[in-house]
Chains A and B, each alone.
Chain A
Amino acid sequence: MSLGLVAVFFVAAGLIAVGAFAAVWRRDMTAALAGVPLMFAGAGVAFAGVARFAAAGGPQLFGQEFAVVLAVAAAALLALGLGIAGREGQR
């Protein structure tokens, strides 16, 4: 059994598409916001896959660095978005 960049990109595409689907399909804004971390997760997987398989020049771990940034940003944006949406929902 082998693993390559194409398989990583397929998984990343699946996560991004499911996240986009969740963001557009759910009626509840707080549920729709949960799709954003899924899309960020897909992007992070793609970046980590490129760092693992195809980063030839420069620092090899740029992709992993960006995956860390995306994971932290996903949690922060979800906290901010849920706070704003919950505040609007009270009005």
Chain B
Amino acid sequence: MDSLHAIGFYVSSGVSLAGALGVALLGNRDVRGASMAVVGVGLAGIYLSLSAGFVAAVALVCYAGCALLVASPLYRPMASVVGSRWRQVGAIGAAALLAVLAYSAFRGEFVHANFYGGAFGVANLGRLFFAHDALSTEALAVLVLVAFAGATAVWRVRERSR
């Protein structure tokens, strides 16, 4: 891996992590949506530097959709009933999760293999999606269909109740 890819990876990682912190910490809905879009851009950069161009394109589209959903004023806020003590326990759990994952990544002994998938890899990925794992692709398509149909139904009910 040349240094150009490595620089692209580290810059994209910084962008993505900064956007993720914005999603987690910022209060305004519009700014949170913009942060989610920043996460998508950084994620696409990470995938591009990992020779996964098709995944980068899909991630860009999906996280742009996520950004629009997060920033949308259609969804009213709904307060959680979880107390502040459990929120603090959860935050400590998230920090512990980061420590465990980082430690296992640091201590792990991983095999190294040469990559020959190409920069974009769409032909091989299409073969995997539509021939090798066609059933899981169908299941994912059903999930997307249910999500869009459910979101549309909720939106229509809300519009009718106005």
**Which residues of A come within 8 Å of B, CB atoms?**
1-3, 5-32, 34-35, 37-38, 41, 44-45, 48-49, 51-56, 59-62, 64-65, 67-69, 71-80, 82-90
Contact = CB atoms under 8 A, between A and B. Distances in A.
Contacts of A18: 17, 20-21, 23-24, 94
Interface in B111-162: 111-113, 115-117, 121, 124-125, 128-129, 132-133, 136, 140, 143-144, 146-148, 150-151, 153-155, 157-158, 161
A79 to B, nearest CB: 5
A8 B113 contact: no
10 contacts: A6-B106, A12-B105, A18-B24, A29-B79, A41-B39, A51-B50, A56-B113, A61-B128, A76-B146, A79-B147
Interface residues of B, number: 86
Contacts of A59: 124, 128, 132
B156 to A, nearest CB: 11
Given A3-B1, A44-B59, A64 B125 contact: yes
A1 B94 contact: no
